[in-house]
Amino acid sequence: MNLLLIRLLIFAVLFFAGLKLYRMYLEWQQSRSSEQPESQESAPMVRCQWCNVHCPEEDALREQGEWFCSAEHRDRYIEERKR
């Protein structure tokens, strides 16, 4: 009798945990789908690590986790870092 009760409890806990995870997943999916159109309307801007000028992400270059407006600035930044 006790074993059955424990099994029922475990089942209930698993059920509610699964339900919560499923709801979190749905919320995550909703927030994701609502964010996407916004980013398409206004192109995300990134700051050049060398000259601090903001430029669209699609025109920028990425190197070692940093953004740069041009290949020249990227190379200069890397040169400065080496020293």
Closest to Zn ion by CB, 51 vs 78, is 51
Name the helix (H) or strand (E) containing 62.
strand 61-63
Q: Does 51 bind Zn ion (CB under 5 A)?
A: yes
Nearest-approach distance from CB 72 to Zn ion, in angstroms: 8
- With contacts defined by CB under 5 A, name the span among 1-9, 15-23, 34-42, 71-79 that binds Zn ion: 71-79
Rounded distance, CA 54 to CA 67, Å?
Answer: 10
Q: How many CA atoms lie within 13 A of 11 on its CB side?
A: 6
Q: Does 48 bind Zn ion (CB under 5 A)?
A: yes
| Candidate residues 46, 60, 69, 77; the one interacting with Zn ion per rule CB under 5 A | 69
Our CA dihedral for 3, 7, 13, 15, rounded to 10 degrees, sits at: -160
Nearest-approach distance from CB 79 to Zn ion, in angstroms: 14
